[in-house]
Amino acid sequence: MILVTGATGSVGREVVSQLGKLGSPVRAVTRHPGAAMLPDGVETVPGDLADPASIAPHVRDADAVFLVWPFTSAELTAKLAPQVVEVLAAAPRRIVYLSAQPAADDPGSFWAIVEQSIRRSGADWTFLRPSGFAKNTLIWAPQIKSGDVVRWPYGQAARSLIHEADIAAVATAALTQDGHDQKIYMPTGPGVVTQAEQVQIIGAVLHRSLRWEEMSSDEARADLTEMFGDADFAAHALSAWADFIDQPEDVTSTVRQITGHQARPFGQWVADHADDFRRLPTT
């Protein structure tokens, strides 16, 4: 039995689907089971990581846990993570945690705080620190639906964006196979693509001519802070994009090594999500 938190998010939903195709029993934790719309055969149960006691009944017979941490506040994470991990480590022999690359460089980040709690728990663990999610480009979808220009900062920031299905494939291997204990994996896309090039690829898939327009970082900071309600998170994102201009995001062969298939290119991700960028039909 594999317990999946964040089961209705982009990666969690993929993990649930891929585990199901393998025939693994899956228990999906979500705050709103009735609205989860997960595949048939998946046991969907109510739970909220903000309330660790709500998770405890679902852990007792679980063999492994896929953990997606939903909070970006380091202060809140420092308070909650030890409690949540204590519950998750009570029975399962394995925790696979969807972390992020900044955990390696910033011990005070919420990603690193969760990693530290898991290390102290005594459970077997695997940490996934993927590159940027291709799905994050959906932040441009409103602009693309309404016009032909994407205004955003740092057009030359070069990312090795990864398809959520590839992250899930690595996670599924770590959850179901031996040999992944105390391993830190950095799955990435197959190559780097600048943000301006990403917009061009989206346009090519949609058969439209899109262009990039550089936005000031100050304007973007205000927009991101309003969007996510977290000024520190906005500042971190902008700083990372600025760094990726001179130091492009790393490219690894982790997806191929763990899953046996090459990581999907960004164009494939766009094709899989093209409807999310299409203009609504006019009447």
pLDDT (0 to 100) of residue 90: 87
2-129, superfamily in CATH?
A: NAD(P)-binding Rossmann-like Domain (3.40.50.720)
Q: What is the pLDDT of residue 85?
A: 96
User: Looking at residue 190, what is its pLDDT?
Assistant: 98
Residue 283 has pLDDT above 70, yes or no: no
Name the band, by pLDDT with cuts 50, 70 and 90, for residue 258.
very high
Answer whether residue 75 shows pLDDT above 60: yes
Q: What is the mean pLDDT of residues 85-104?
A: 92
The pLDDT of residue 281 is 65
Pairwise CA distance, residues 109 & 149, whole Å: 34
Q: pLDDT tens digit string along 31-56? A: 998 888 898 889 999 999 999 999 99
Query: Stretch 258-275: mean pLDDT, rounded?
Result: 98
What's the pLDDT band for 282 if we cut at 50, 70, 90?
A: low
The domain ranges of the chain are 2-129, 134-160+190-250+264-276
**Region 134-160+190-250+264-276: CATH code:** 3.90.25.10
For residue 197, the one-letter residue type is E
Q: Categorize the per-residue pLDDT at 147 as very low, low, confident or very high, splitting at 50, 70 and 90.
A: very high
The residues, any chain, with a CB within 8 Å of residue 121's CB and separated by 6 or more, are: 85, 86, 88, 89, 95
